A = this chain, B = another copy of it.
Amino acid sequence: MAEGQEEVKLLGAGYSPFVFRVKWALKLKGIQYEYIEQDVINKSSLLLHYNPVHKKVPVLIHGGKPIAESVVIIEYLDETWKHNPILPVDPYQRAMARFWVKFIEEKLAEVIRRALLAEGEQQEKEVMQARDALKILDGELKDKKFFGGDTIGFVDIVLGGISVWLGVIEEAACFKVSDPIEFPRLKKWMDGISELSIIKEAVPPRDTLVLHFQKLRQYGLAKAAKK
């Protein structure tokens, strides 16, 4: 059996923007897969077995072999199923896509995660950093329809999950990173991706998400207070 024809499973959690990225990439490739929802508080033996290092979703299992980390999974999907490419073909453009993905991971996703679990001055500091990152991304987008040009690419998928979730996390943790007026190009891009069926199909109802992130925040703050 060719590599691409082996069984594909995805360990995920509905509330996770990182799982959403992988679902989006799988959809773009038209790959059939079995989705297995995980409880990430009471972790299943399946999750611990397939992602012993981070014990987190998403985990893609292809022909029995696990891959963790959403951005690593997306590159794997793109190299294994070559149709509907997600990364550009040109090495320089690929490097640029990877540069922006790393930027989003470190300067936005991680910062928003910290803002969700912080209070007061510390939270304000994180919020300012996230705003700076959005400003830079707004500048990078220029007047392109997508970061990938005319079609959705690696950067769009990686940022897309975060941007859809940002409003939810802001509400759950009582902060505000972004006023759409400040970032007109990002706003237009966001409006564009919000129209996609994947957003409507794979993103849980807003109220459920807000409640989930409120719980996550309380859990995180209580844990930090104990230390």
Give A contacts to B, CB under 8 Å.
3, 53, 62, 65, 67-69, 71-73, 75-76, 79-80, 91-92, 94-96, 98-99, 102-103, 136
Contacts and interface: CB of A to CB of B under 8 A. Distances in A.
Majority secondary structure, A binding face: helix
Given A53-B136, A76-B92, A91-B79, A67 B3 contact: no
Chain copies in the assembled complex: 2
A73 B95 contact: yes
A80 B91 contact: yes
B80 A99 contact: no
A65 B91 CA distance: 12
20 contacts: A3-B91, A53-B103, A53-B136, A62-B92, A67-B95, A67-B96, A68-B99, A69-B98, A72-B99, A72-B102, A73-B95, A75-B94, A75-B95, A75-B98, A76-B91, A76-B94, A76-B95, A79-B91, A79-B94, A79-B95
Contacts of A73: 95
Q: Which of A94, A95, A102 has the most CB of B within 10 A?
A: A95
A3 B92 CA distance: 10
A7 B95 CA distance: 18
Nearest to A96: B67
A97 B28 CA distance: 24
B67 A102 contact: no
Contacts of A136: 53
Nearest to A227: B125
A63 to B, nearest CB: 9
Nearest to A51: B99
Contacts of A68: 99
A102 B65 contact: no
A193 to B, nearest CB: 23
